[in-house]
Amino acid sequence: MTHSIKTVGFIGTGLMGLPMAKNILAKKFKLNVWNRTSGKTLELKKKGAKVFSDIKDLVQNSKVIVSMLANDDVCKTVLIKKIQPYLKKGQIVIDMSSTTQTTALQIGNALKKKKVFFLDAPVSGGTIGAEKGNLAIMVGGDKKIFNVVMPLFKSMGTAIYVGKTGCGQVAKLANQTIVGISIGAVSEALILAEAAGADPKAVREIMLQGFAGGPILKNHGLRILTKNFKPGGKASTQLKDMNNIISTAKKYKLNLPIAKKVQELYAKTVKSGRANLDHSALYLFIKALRR
């Protein structure tokens, strides 16, 4: 099976989508763009992307369509209700948003009726990874189609095929389980170190050399210590992911007690007015707790 993927349609140019689209352009793909808020496409237009005001026109002028959208409801609305009617046999739709497995399956089944190929391909790496083009991309769907679009994935990061439709989202939920819990662990470790009289910066530095070292301690630990809570990934988005983790666990009759506790903490963090801060702002909520 061969496909020309010289022209890519991109839907959703928010915090993550904009830098991802920039990297696609940088790798010399022709890029068509649509976003609900047209102002967020101006930078791409200046760089050579073709901006469509009508999503129908984007669909009809793109062999491969990539979406990076806010949540399950938006994904279903855009991919099933808005673009499905205009899709043609053989087109490829790649949803790189973070949703539930159920949503990925619903979208995949709906597009299959039009003989359209669908990959669920959520990412990890935040805005920094999106900007640098080194996102981790977890892909579910038809492996042949995965291989066809590999050059496109390479423009944004490293892609791994993880299984049938919906498995990309399962991999992302597993990833976000570790991310959410680890941010909580890093927060508590630095709070403990500071309260007990140790230099939290030095504690983080030496922990990076041991088993506790890793991207969360490195990146989010630095955010915490420098009080930089400008969102790379929002606390509200992490809460969405934690909610999806727990609902998926229930579907498979699993008890995930640590994830459940972290879900509750993120719910309280969001409720406390920190929804639009970085998800490392969980630290602020935990630090404010009193016995």
Q: Would you please indicate which residues are annotated as catalytic (active-site) residues? A: 172
Give 288's contacts (C-beta < 8 A, 6+ positions apart).
272
Compute the chain's Rg from CA coordinates: 20
| Tokens representing residue 115 in the block | 């003989």
d(CA 222, CA 228): 8
What is the distance between the alpha carbons of residues 95 and 8, in angstroms, rounded to a whole number? Answer: 13
Question: In degrees to the nearest 10, what's the CA dihedral of 125, 220, 244, 234?
Answer: -90
Half-sphere exposure of 10 (CA within 13 A, CB side): 32
